[in-house]
Structure 1
């Protein structure tokens, strides 16, 4: 694993801070306080960013906001990935049609580390009802507080739709992300779930009410840095509950139309010309406050069917091919 660079991370955190509230201006003291650093530490970073046009300083108020150089960088990033360019209108259409937040995930690696899923695009239907929707602000309805660029480790069951069509070696590497205790039985237990995903062309991930409530508590504590220790303790409890809950319960093999499911995510793969997964389209079924409502199987199947149709259309538009089911 590559060694962390505290100074680099502080610089990125500083930009993230300003991006989280793009309509506001921050004094040097504001930035230092939010970053938990002293002004002497923050000052050279702010000066360096201002010199490159990443920040703008108002001479009158002596406050800072994001600068025009970031606009150019953002445009280049948006235009430089043809897959995300093609996925962007599909994600927005899905959000508008379903009333759910839709996310496009792409694979992204860090040197010396395992590949993760990266949030490439987010469409929130609520944005159309807001006076302004800051593009840098995290969407707080999801337990992770997602925003573009966030990395998500595909630890089973997350990532099932990405590996369902893969060879056994790839599936084994995915399963290796589990703890040793879970890994022993996971391959046999998850095989029926992966087969069901291949047959449907989409995956359902379900949650449980206890983890949902704890997730809300963690988010509440995270909002107040004075409760950092409590939030860390709750995360540990949440992890243990996740281990006890198991990965197989999260990926139901059969979905009964009359059944009731606490659906958290419905997702489907978009394939490239080689038959690999280029994008994962996700519908987030959680609501504000991290509530995961019960839905009937019929409702979930309708969402999955719509999602697969969009994924197939995007696959075709990218010149991709849907691979045959892996036996």
Structure 2
């Protein structure tokens, strides 16, 4: 595991802060307050960044905003990731067509650390739906990282030629990994390959039961209730396993609280380079129930966008592609 760098974190926090208010900028005092640092600590860094063109300082308002040097760096970064650049209009079009927040995740890794997905583009729907999914973008930023912990990332391992890839992915569950995890997940991955897209089912019910058990346990009057709830919770965890979080088959007449629908974009070597995702739930709303037919329609739409992006960027599906 790499060692943390506080100075680097401060720099990135500063850039993130100013990127969220591009027009107005922020004063030295506002930056220091937002980052929880003293003005004496942040001032030398901001002076250096201004001299290098990373920041611009307004001569009268004394506010700072991002400078032209970052524009040049951003253009170089875009040229270095042509698939991500090509994904931007696709993601925005998908958001407009579905009415959901849609994302382009970049499949990336850090040496010595688990693989993660990075948010490369965010598409916002014109009018967020009342049922959820439309306000997810408020809690997401470009560059946010998501660990590939099952069921997240199934589209990244479903087509892998590496026989150990699924095992390494399941190992990220840590102590939560069931003894029969591979047996549970195998039909689900078969379903992902057969459809060409994944549907991750909302697990917030289990999380809410977990929190309720904790709250009852902290109240001495609820100790007995908490013990009973934990026994029930154990049954829920056994009944609602990996196969339920990542259904192998989507029944058209069934009802599903799908949180995310994902499809892979392949590069020229047949590896997943980008994941397109439609977000059906958010921090403020649980995933609304959808019929299986509605889920399939959404999945096919995301998969079609991903397939079009693969073709447009000269990618090709892997040998195990079965659509």
Cross-structure match for 2:11: 11
Q: Which residue of 2 aligns with 1:154?
A: 148
The one-character-per-residue Cα deviations of 1:10-46 (angstroms, maximum 9, x if unpaired) are 1111111111222223121111111111111111111
Indicate whether 1:98 and 2:103 are aligned.
no
TM-score when scaled to structure 2?
A: 0.82
1:320 deviates by 2.4
Q: TM-score, normalised by structure 1?
A: 0.81
Structure with higher Rg: it is 2
Residues of 2 paired with 1:168 and 1:285: CA distance?
31
Whole-Å Cα distance in 1 between the matches of residues 283 and 186 of structure 2?
A: 33
- 1:213: how far off? 7.1
1:101-140 maps to which residues of 2 (within 5 A)?
101-126=101-126
**Aligned: 1:145 with 2:139:** yes
For 2:206 and 2:146, how far apart are their aligned partners in 1?
18
Q: Specify which of 256, 259, 270 is matched with residue 261 of structure 1.
A: 256
Q: Secondary structure at the match of 1:125?
A: coil
Tell me how far apart the structure 2 counterparts of residues 90 and 181 of structure 1 sit (CA, whole Å).
36
Residues in 1 aligned to 2:58 and 2:185: alpha-carbon distance in whole angstroms: 57
User: Which secondary structure does the structure 2 equivalent of 1:126 belong to?
Assistant: coil
Inter-partner Cα distance in structure 1 for 2:112 and 2:158: 25
Aligned residues: 291
Q: CA RMSD for the aligned pairs? A: 2.7
Describe the SS at the equivalent of 1:122.
Answer: strand
Change (3 A) 1:199 1:38: same
Secondary structure at 2:317 match in 1? coil
Of residues 266, 271, 285, the one that matches 2:266 is 271
Once the two structures are TM-superposed, the CA of residue 110 in structure 1 deviates from its matched residue by: 2.1
Distance 1:197 1:48, change over 3 A: same
Q: Is 1:67 the equivalent of 2:67?
A: yes
Partners of 2:99 and 2:134 within 8 A in 1: no
Residue 183 of structure 1, CA deviation: 4.8
Question: What is the alpha-carbon distance in structure 2 between the residues aligned to residue 142 and residue 194 of structure 1?
Answer: 26
Deviations 1:114-164 (A, max 9, x none): 221111111112389xxxxxxxxxx99229922221111111110001101
Q: Residue 230 of structure 2 corresponds to which residue in structure 1?
A: none
